[in-house]
Amino acid sequence: MVEINGSEGGGQLVRSALALSMLDGEPVTVTDIRGDRSTPGLKPQHAAAVRTAASVADAAIDGAVVESDSVSFAPDGLSGGHYEAEIGTAGSLTLLFDTFLPLAAAIDEPLSITAAGGTDVKWSPPLSYYRSVKLPVLRQFGVAAAVECERTGFYPAGGGRATLHLWPSTVSELDLSRRGPATSARVFSKASAALAEGEVADRQADAATDALEGLGIEPVERRTTYVTSDSPGSVLTVRVDVAGTPAGFDAYGAPSKPAEAVANEVADRIRWFRESEAAVDPHLADQLLVFLAFVGGRVPIPKVSDHVSSSLALLETFGHDVTLDRSGEAPTLVGDRPRRTD
């Protein structure tokens, strides 16, 4: 039984612990979950991830309820098929999907998970980032995965619905050690139908296009959509193609926040990224760690966030050696050793 103190690392630690437990076949207990937060314990999206993982891995579980401060998970193999996850709030579907994405390297038959909740909510990658950036990066290394959206869900009502599809995959080493100049960009702007009269999605896209041209980056694609949703909202995602490897930057709209301000937020993040030597954007920096543990590789990252630090400690607890190399111009995650068996 692997025992984890979950007081730091937030929901990311719970999701990664579940993924590692399923991949390694080792039971895990996480205690003091989100203990450093003002509202500690499992939130609806975390409890939904545990329950869904239990179905996929035929696991015995304890504590998989909202506000629980500890959870135990004992897997007994992986099964393909189709599963449903009902969050019941605007909790992030993309973060829930992160629990299962690494399973592509271990499953023997297709696996799909349909989840209901928030597709595009603050503090998490929007679905457009998942589709246009994260999955394309992973496909370069053999991960066979796709995501489709049936309905958009913004905060606070949620009401979104999306499906993650996984197929058995042979995943190669994640070699992202080189980064070239930004060659082009793709703009994805989405808003609820309630904001169509104000042309919010169009204005976000217009401002993003102007900002990219000001940075010397050519926009080669632009998609503007208005969608039916239970709550009004908007999101802007810009994919920057960097020597064949995409990086993604996003921002959400809010009441009294001009559409142009959303685009400026994204432009500031792109500008900051270009000044770094990182090969991946901040979203991917901590989300690739589980893959690094199993297939190895080198990934220069923008900074060592709290999520990165807690995830490295988690991997070590599970017996995986992923290290941080600070000798270069950018901190680099390195996974190059087999899992310890002692």
The residues carrying an active-site annotation are 307
**Quick count: other Cβ atoms within 10 Å of Cβ 197?**
8
**Phi and psi dihedrals of 21, rounded to 5?**
-60, -45
- Terminal CA-to-CA distance of the chain, rounded, Å? 14
CA distances from 20 to 50, 64, 151 (A): 13, 17, 30
Gap between the Cα atoms of 99 and 15, Å rounded:
5
Any alpha helices (H) in the chain, and if so which ranges? Answer: 10-24, 44-56, 93-98, 127-129, 135-139, 200-214, 259-274, 282-287, 289-295, 306-317
Q: Within 13 Å and on the Cβ side, how many CA atoms surround 269?
A: 21
